[in-house]
Amino acid sequence: MEVNVQLTDGFVLLRPYVSEDTPRLHEAAMESQPQIQAWMGWCPPDYAIETSRAWVADRPEKWAQGAAYEFAITDPRDGTYLGGCGLNGINTGARFCNLGYWVRTSRTKKGVATAATRLLARFAFAELKLQRLEIVVATANLASQRVATKAGATREGVLRNRYPTTQGPAQDAVMFSLIPEDLAIKS
């Protein structure tokens, strides 16, 4: 599978990370840090550009191993970095994985995460031949739950102590799932 895959619906463009994304990722993370730190353990107040650099540099290897498929979410008109989404925790035997997303604060509430989730799900079902995608969201993260619902995911229930935190005990989480039939995709 090529690492230069591009997925678009005309509203957003998903593409694998490249080294030039390092400062864009860091800038967006720092802009959004107060809003996402509770949900994204990778983005503490002292999040450093070196952390972005190391993470971006590691993406091609993870992709080649089939361990994670991470995409930059960009604006197809001007290339603006909007956030990130990806597939990880891939279980090839059972054909399912985790789907995650985040959007920089200045671009939230515009449908970016929903569009990215749908594109990513189509990729997972059509290209990776997965049968199930799980979206695990902290119960207090209502915005992310709205994204999952708008993307067509089914709310399956609350999982106790499922969402790890960097500060304090694990939180309860809502489990959402997407299957090919939710997007009318044959895999």
- Which residue segment(s) compose the domain that 49 sits in? 7-183
Average pLDDT, the chain: 90
| Residue 90 DSSP one-character state | E
CATH number at residue 113: 3.40.630.30
pLDDT higher than 60, residue 7: yes
Q: Give a yes or no: residue 64 inside a domain.
A: yes
Confirm whether 17 is domain-assigned: yes
In a domain, 2, yes or no: no
Residue 1 confidence class, pLDDT cut points 50, 70, 90: very low
Question: Looking at the domain assignment, is residue 1 inside a domain?
Answer: no
Asked whether residue 150 is assigned to any structural domain, the reply reads yes
Share of the chain above pLDDT 70, in %: 93
Specify burial of residue 109 (Cβ count, 10 A radius: 0-12, 13-18, 19+): exposed
Tell me, yes or no, whether 139 lies in a domain. yes
Query: What is the sign, positive or negative, of the torsion defined by CA atoms of 117, 120, 124, 125?
Result: positive
Task: Give the confidence band of 71 by pLDDT, cuts at 50, 70, 90.
Answer: very high
On whether residue 53 sits in a domain, the answer given is yes
pTM: 0.91
pLDDT in tens, 100-129: 999 998 999 999 999 999 999 999 999 999
**pLDDT tens, 131-184?**
999 999 999 999 999 999 999 999 999 999 998 776 778 889 999 999 999 988
Q: How many domains does the structure of the chain reveal?
A: 1
pLDDT score of 51: 87
> Does residue 128 belong to any structural domain of this protein?
yes
